[in-house]
């Protein structure tokens, strides 16, 4: 009984809300715990949005700095990860707008480098080539999407988040989130279809 109570009390101390409260009170180690707990989640999303590791790491850093500076604005009714992902989404959208000036060649090189790392799952070289071609086309199409469509695709179809969670991150209703997903998928399909057609010819 006493063991259970102490365990539950310890678990309560380790919840995101409790850590945020401690961090607000000046306990920086509590914030570091939050960072350790959620950095992978944030990094994954940032990487999918930027397709570059260094950009993704910069976004992670900026997201946690902003989170720390704005901890007083965090409302306990929302999940901390939701709030954090909302910050990251905004940062990625801003970064995507700024990086439009970046040359397309640079992005293609980054995508190509990743292809070398991720392709080659099976022994069949023909299958590998085909998978490589599709993957490249998909990445190209995804990178060509506007940031708001891309964020939706990453959240739903890559990170496989539920619609209510997405709605909280995107700041819309569940129905709105579903509608955005439909639109984003259609936009992606319209971009990928000609790419696959080109490569076939």
Alpha-carbon Rg for the chain in angstroms: 20
User: Taking Cα atoms as reference points, which of 38, 49, 46 lies closest to residue 145?
Assistant: 49
CB of 189 to other proteins, least distance (A): 6
With respect to other proteins, which residue has the nearer C-beta, 99 or 135?
Answer: 135
64 binds other proteins (CB under 8 A): yes
> Which residue in the set 22, 79, 86, 185 belongs to the binding site for other proteins (CB under 8 A)?
185
With respect to other proteins, which residue has the nearer C-beta, 6 or 118?
Answer: 118
Runs of H (alpha helix) within 25-103: 28-50, 53-69, 80-98
d(Cα 77, Cα 155) in Å, to the nearest integer?
Answer: 21
115 binds other proteins (CB under 8 A): no
182 binds other proteins (CB under 8 A): yes
Q: By CB under 8 A, which span of 3-11, 98-106, 144-152, 184-192 interacts with other proteins?
A: 184-192
CB of 8 to other proteins, least distance (A): 28
- CA dist 137 → 54, 99, 111, 133, 159 (Å): 23, 20, 10, 6, 20
CB of 112 to other proteins, least distance (A): 14
* Residues 9-38, interacting with other proteins (CB under 8 A): 24, 26, 28, 32, 35-36
Other CB atoms within 10 A of residue 144 CB: 16
User: Taking Cα atoms as reference points, which of 32, 30, 36, 29 lies closest to residue 14?
Assistant: 30
CB of 123 to other proteins, least distance (A): 17
- CA dist 63 → 67, 69, 122, 149, 174 (Å): 6, 10, 38, 21, 25
Q: For binding to other proteins (CB under 8 A), which residues are involved?
A: 24, 26, 28, 32, 35-36, 39-40, 43-44, 47-48, 53, 56-57, 60-62, 64-65, 68-69, 72, 114, 117-118, 134-135, 138-139, 142, 153, 157-160, 182, 185-186, 188-189, 192-193, 196
């Amino acid at each position: 009984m006493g063991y259970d109570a102490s365990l539950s009390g310890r678990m309560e101390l380790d919840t995101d809300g409790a850590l945020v409260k401690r961090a607000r009170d000046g306990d920086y180690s509590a914030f570091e715990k939050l960072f350790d707990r959620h950095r992978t989640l944030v990094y994954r999303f940032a990487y999918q949005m930027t397709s570059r590791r260094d950009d993704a790491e910069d976004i992670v850093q900026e997201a946690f700095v902003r989170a720390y500076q704005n901890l007083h604005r965090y409302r306990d009714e929302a999940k901390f990860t939701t709030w954090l992902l909302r910050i990251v989404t905004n940062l990625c959208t801003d970064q995507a707008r700024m990086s439009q000036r970046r040359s397309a060649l640079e992005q293609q090189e980054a995508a190509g480098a990743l292809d070398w790392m991720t392709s080659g799952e099976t022994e069949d070289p023909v299958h590998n080539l085909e998978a490589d071609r599709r993957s490249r086309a998909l990445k190209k199409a995804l990178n060509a999407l506007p940031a708001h469509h891309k964020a939706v695709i990453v959240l739903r179809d890559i990170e496989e988040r539920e619609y209510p969670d997405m709605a909280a991150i995107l700041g819309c209703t569940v129905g709105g989130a579903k509608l955005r997903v439909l639109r984003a998928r259609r936009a992606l399909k319209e971009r990928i279809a000609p790419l696959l057609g080109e490569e076939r010819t």
